[in-house]
Structure 1
């Protein structure tokens, strides 16, 4: 899979924009909030990547509340979402993973999430859906 400076995110229809260079240390981030996502990759500093991801997420989120779900440094990052039923309705859970390739990053996130099936949870009500990849990004020099 080839990554470019602008990536469409099918789960939310958002865009993530990064600068274009492939040498040296490169940073990225994925921000989530209010069922929205923002991404940034190929930035010269982690701070710049964080700010760009947060801004992209906030621009797509009516509440403006977003937080960094994962940070990357010369690698790939992924955010997996699993929806759960709670006493108050449904709520998304997010888990992030990192690795040298998109597949490795996804495997890391899924390992952290644990069993990926619809399952009863006595206190929360249960998992409504297995985890789905919300977003995947890589710096140009990943792998």
Structure 2
């Protein structure tokens, strides 16, 4: 396959992937894809809006806020040509980005710090801390 046919096939494959993946938006001339994760504290839960594959960061942010759906939504993570993740640790949020989903999730979990009680102690009500990913996404 010639270089120009490979390039055309790559463009077609990237376009088809963006349409199939459900990301709203297209890449700009530089082939950059933007995403965002917006979060609102709902007391006992989180409202979350996630966007990916947008042509500019402003649109990705605005639509993530719209998807989150509450006035107190805040964009917590912005990513370009990569991934973003949000982790919950005992009701507090931490975020990270990375080149792939595993790296972004690992960075979000690492941002929450080490477990303050790595070993369950049989004293009073000592419990192991809860830590988990609540949202993550990558651009194509």
**Global fold match (TM > 0.5):** yes
TM norm structure 2: 0.68
Q: What is the Cα deviation at residue 129 of structure 1?
A: 4.1
Alignment of 1:1-143 (within 5 A): 5-6=21-22, 18-19=24-25, 24-33=31-40, 34=42, 35-58=46-69, 61=70, 64-83=71-90, 92-116=91-115, 129-140=129-140
In angstroms, what is the RMSD of aligned CA positions? 2.7
Instruction: Select the structure that is richer in helix.
Output: 2
Kept after mapping to 1: 8 A contact 2:26/2:55 = no
Unpaired segments ≥5 residues, structure 2: 1-16, 119-125
Instruction: Select the structure that is richer in strand.
Output: 1
Kept after mapping to 1: 8 A contact 2:109/2:132 = no
Q: Tell me, what secondary structure is at the counterpart of 1:18?
A: coil
Kept after mapping to 2: 8 A contact 1:117/1:130 = no
Unpaired segments ≥5 residues, structure 1: 7-16, 84-91, 120-125
Q: What is the Cα deviation at residue 5 of structure 1?
A: 3.4
- Aligned pairs, number: 111
TM norm structure 1: 0.67
Q: Tell me, what secondary structure is at the counterpart of 2:114?
A: coil
Measured against aligned partners, the alpha-carbon deviations of 1:81-103 in whole angstroms (never above 9, x if no partner) come to 112xxxxxxxx211111111111
Q: What is the Cα deviation at residue 18 of structure 1?
A: 2.4
